[in-house]
Amino acid sequence: MKKLFIFLGKGGVGKTTSSAALAFWLAERGKKVFWFSVDPAHNIGDLLGETELSRPKKVYRELYAQEVDVDRFLEDFLSEVSSRMKSLYRHLKVSGLEDIFDVMKLSPGMEESAILYAIHDRLTAVDADYVVIDTPPTGLTLRILALPTINIKWIEALKRWRLKILDRRSMVAHIKGEDHFGGAPVKKEDDRVLAELDSHLEKMRFLEDVFSRRGFCVKILVLNPDKLSIREGLRIKETLARLKMGIDLVLVNKWGLSGDVLSEIEKAFPDTSMFTLPFIEGKAALSKEELLFLAGQWADKVL
């Protein structure tokens, strides 16, 4: 993969249209492109007029599109975790995990975690020159981008505690024997819990590196020419800065629909390249030619 493109912005500003424009523009130039959405709204299918995009589907030349079913991914993810937990803690005869995970589906952060793991799943499975991601509205996307760093801190802390437990077990095992623990692991190399933590830590470090690598992960902010959209864009900019990330390009979509606020946008994003895209009237979905026209004004600047 040469580059990853992530489109950011509040709902309704034109992220899906902009991501589509770039995806088609790259495919038009002979590139193999994987364009997928982790937005539960599933706007890619609406734009393409496709009803079935649960799996990657070729939609134009070497352009493949997919809409990740986040709810289904969460179901599968929790089912897999339940199975592993029962295996890891079989010596404790853990039961009733299904009921616990039914409640967990409704817990704060589970949707973000499911989307994060879905992104990891797609990025590690895909074979493409370029990957384009259409994201959910601002709040959810920012939490997803922050999660790898947060999870790394949690997993590293859990590993430290797990190693302390194993050290204590080892000390006791020297006196009473390993059978004292009823089959629970005593040595680090035998501990599947530690291996599980290492597996998740590897995934989070991969995603943290991918999201933060400048020049590889290109973050494109899509705005509309109105004050609410500009304020939302500033919040995105500030949050990304705290994550040591930046915005690589600002697209002001639907230009001409509202008053002239270009000077205000330029003041808000003084060090970022910016392009205005005209509002095309009377179209619920743009044609391939119109998408290529829009991308032609800016796409070469992010390669």
Averaged pLDDT for residues 77-105: 66
Residue for token digits 């790394």? 152
Residue 92 reports pLDDT greater than 60: no
CA separation for the pair 238, 34 (Å, rounded): 29
**Structure confidence by residue, pLDDT tens digits, 66-76:** 999 888 888 88
CATH number for the domain running over 3-302: 3.40.50.300
Residue for token digits 């599109």? 65
E strand or H helix at 132:
strand 130-134
167 vs 82, higher pLDDT: 167
Integer CA distances (angstroms), 234 to 79, 134, 255, in order? 39, 20, 19
Please state at what angle helix 110-125 crosses helix 192-212, rounded to 10 degrees.
80
Instruction: List phi, psi (to 5°) of 284.
Output: -75, -35
Integer CA distances (angstroms), 175 to 100, 163, 183, 206, in order? 37, 19, 16, 41
Q: Write the burial class of residue 303 (CB in 10 Å: 0-12 exposed, 13-18 middle, 19+ buried).
A: middle
Integer CA distances (angstroms), 8 to 59, 235, 291, in order? 23, 11, 18
Paired tokens of 57: 């589907």
**Structure confidence by residue, pLDDT tens digits, 116-140:** 999 999 999 999 999 999 998 888 9
